[in-house]
Amino acid sequence: MNGADRLCDVLLANGVDTCFANPGTSEMHFVAALDRKPQMRCILGLFEGVVTAAADGYARMADKPAATLLHLGPGLANGLANLHNARRARTPMVNIVGDHATYHLRHDAPLTSDIESLARPMSQWVGRVSSAADIRSRAEEAYIAAMSNPGVSTLILPADAAWSEVAEEALVPATLPPRRDVAPEALRAAAAPLRGGRKTALFLGGRALRADALDIAGRIAAGTGATLFTERAARWQRGAGRVSPRPVPYNIELAVAALQEFETAILIGGRAPVGFFAYPEKPGFLLPDGCDVIELAGVEHDLHQVLQALADELGPRHLAPAVTGPFTARDLPAPTGDLTPSAISQAVARALPEGAILCDESITSAGRFAELAPNMAPHDHLPLTGGAIGIGIPLSVGAAVACPDRKVVALQADGSGMYTVQGLWTQARERLDILTIVFSNRGYSILKGEMRNVGVNEFGRNARRMLEIDDPALDWCSLAKGMGVEAARATTAEEFTNLLTAGLSRRGPFLIEALI
């Protein structure tokens, strides 16, 4: 029994039984320990950004952390962009980052780095193991931090702590602190504008976007006239028969227009809406001047319970049956002609199976998905939460590992897909049931839009060279096949619909390159 064995046992005792990994020399004792633990599922990613995004997708769907295994500071650095997205999603995760043996650090070997400083901006909790003897306590701290104030915990494991012997010890699950309660005065403050007829918006996030919590929020909205919004929710259970909050528009002008009438904003797991970026002479804070902001509850609360408590505070007179959308997407006509984002979203809306998981990094090619979602088959929507592109393909890996009995559909922009294209290899190796749809417009269309937002409408040669990826054109079918994923290309709406039917009717990974 060595320290690496002890760490594996602590993870397993707390239900952490999946490890997404890209290890190196310093982690070999931990890899050997994993080999002695058949209860732990180990999944290799060929790039650390795949590892961290897969752990994010897994936890969003499993409601518990996965572990990651990363090699020293440079390995952690390679995974930071998707750790940023996980931090914004408030995803529980336990990163295990190997380090040199404690006595070797003084030599400043080539891979020595300040791991704590790299980890801290993207982690809710950072801790270092000092010796094999304190592995249990530090690992339990990491797990408790990841679960109780949901987010990323990073545990640094020196190689000598991993290989040193420890005594056998009985393990029990760590005790999680109870969820925070909302004070009665906070409930009264939130109920007052709802009772008083003020124009009120409820901003929902975290587990307030689950179907049962949404039903309560919908009854409050129907009874009080409040409007429900969400902004980049980590996991949104949406579709026919479910309450559908309005997404806050990305575009500044549209967002300001959508929010201009509200006098009160109540935050229940959500945040007050702000612009993604600053623009000359445009607001950064999107609520109107004078709007009262009431922070009722954060993601560390039991948001279902908070919504129920708010409904109880309001009383039956201020509640009404929630308004939900009918299941009408199957009745949409099949798209024909040119293959456009609108045609793709219409085709997917018609065909999406009930219980599917949509991992969405479609960005500018989203088409009509937001409009059609309330009438589609009930599904889970996992979006890009933090704006760091390159999450979609590996996010779908984690979701498929967590929910092997559910179809996963990845909506993937082509430019951002190239950041973590290695995730296709993991899809093939693990034989995951994922249909990837690549929106191939062969450019960074989001950046073209941002150029126009700052007043540049004519692009010269240098700008075009930085915003277009058509010379040479990416061949997604060849890329996918090279990593073991069957793929086909669609150039018309009819071709896309046929490939979509084929991809949804089979198990295993399949990719459609949609030339739009």
What does the DSSP assignment read for 193-214?
HHHTT--EEEEE-GGGGSHHHH
What's 459's domain CATH number? 3.40.50.970
| pLDDT value for 466 | 80
Does residue 20 share a domain with residue 148?
A: yes
Q: Which residues contact 511 (CB under 8 A, 6 or more apart)?
A: 424, 435, 436, 437, 438, 476, 477, 480, 485, 486, 487, 488
| pLDDT value for 462 | 84
End-to-end, the C-alpha distance of the chain in Å comes to 56
Does residue 453 share a domain with residue 340?
A: yes
Where among 286, 318, 350 does a domain terminate? 318
CB atoms within 10 A of CB 253: 12
Where among 318, 345, 370 does a domain terminate? 318
Contact 297, 269 (CB under 8 A): yes
For 243-284, how does the pLDDT look when each residue is reduced to its tens digit (9 = 90+)?
A: 999 999 989 999 999 999 999 999 999 899 999 888 888 999
For 148-160, how does the pLDDT look when each residue is reduced to its tens digit (9 = 90+)?
A: 999 999 999 999 9
Answer whether residue 348 shows pLDDT above 90. yes
Does residue 20 share a domain with residue 127?
A: yes
Question: Phi and psi for 470 in degrees, rounded to 5?
Answer: -105, 5
- With the C-alpha atoms ordered 142, 300, 56, 285, is the resulting torsion angle positive or negative? negative
Does residue 197 share a domain with residue 308?
A: yes
Q: Sheet of 18-22: strands edge to edge?
A: 41-44, 18-22, 67-71, 93-99, 152-158, 125-128
State the greatest distance between any 2 C-alpha atoms of the chain, in Å, as a whole number: 71
408 forms beta bridges with: 357, 434
Q: What's the structural domain count of the chain? A: 3
For 192-232, how does the pLDDT look when each residue is reduced to its tens digit (9 = 90+)?
A: 999 999 999 999 999 999 999 999 999 999 999 999 999 88
| pLDDT value for 464 | 79
**Does some domain include residue 172?**
no
Where among 318, 349, 382 does a domain terminate? 318
439 forms beta bridges with: 413, 514
**Does some domain include residue 381?**
yes
Does residue 495 share a domain with residue 348?
A: yes
Does residue 460 share a domain with residue 391?
A: yes
Q: Which residues contact 84 (CB under 8 A, 6 or more apart)?
A: 122, 386, 388
Average pLDDT, the chain: 95
Averaged pLDDT, 117-144: 97
Does residue 253 share a domain with residue 370?
A: no
DSSP category for residue 391: -
The structure's pTM equals: 0.95
Question: In degrees, to the nearest 5, what angle opens at C-alpha 98 toward C-alphas 108 and 432?
Answer: 140
Q: Which residues contact 157 (CB under 8 A, 6 or more apart)?
A: 3, 4, 7, 27, 30, 96, 97, 98, 99, 129, 135
Does residue 452 share a domain with residue 335?
A: yes
Buried b (16+ CB within 10 A) or exposed e, 167-192: eeeeeeebeeeeeeebeeebbebbbe
Does residue 346 share a domain with residue 309?
A: no
Per DSSP (E only), the strands in 28-85 are 41-44, 67-71
Answer whether residue 447 shows pLDDT above 80. no
Which pair of tokens denotes residue 464?
């075009």
Band (pLDDT 50/70/90 cuts) for residue 441 is: confident
**Does some domain include residue 176?**
no
**Does some domain include residue 132?**
yes
**Does some domain include residue 169?**
no
Per-residue CA distances from 14 to 18, 40, 134, 254 (Å): 12, 12, 17, 45
Answer whether residue 516 shows pLDDT above 80. yes
Range of the domain at 115: 3-163
**Does some domain include residue 175?**
no
Per-residue CA distances from 388 to 222, 279, 384, 414 (Å): 36, 19, 8, 15
**Does some domain include residue 107?**
yes
**Does some domain include residue 257?**
yes
Among residues 355, 354, 469, 474, which one has the least CA distance to residue 403? 355
Answer whether residue 489 shows pLDDT above 90. yes
Among residues 439, 470, 245, 271, which one has the least CA distance to residue 360? 439
For 45-75, how does the pLDDT look when each residue is reduced to its tens digit (9 = 90+)?
A: 999 999 999 999 999 999 999 999 999 999 9
| pLDDT value for 232 | 81
What's 247's domain CATH number? 3.40.50.1220
Residue type, 24: G
Does residue 102 share a domain with residue 30?
A: yes
* E strand or H helix that includes residue 33: helix 28-35
Band (pLDDT 50/70/90 cuts) for residue 83 is: very high
- With the C-alpha atoms ordered 473, 479, 480, 482, is the resulting torsion angle positive or negative? positive
| pLDDT value for 396 | 98
Question: Phi and psi for 468 in degrees, rounded to 5?
Answer: -120, 145
Answer whether residue 446 shows pLDDT above 80. no
Does residue 339 share a domain with residue 305?
A: no
Does residue 206 share a domain with residue 114?
A: no
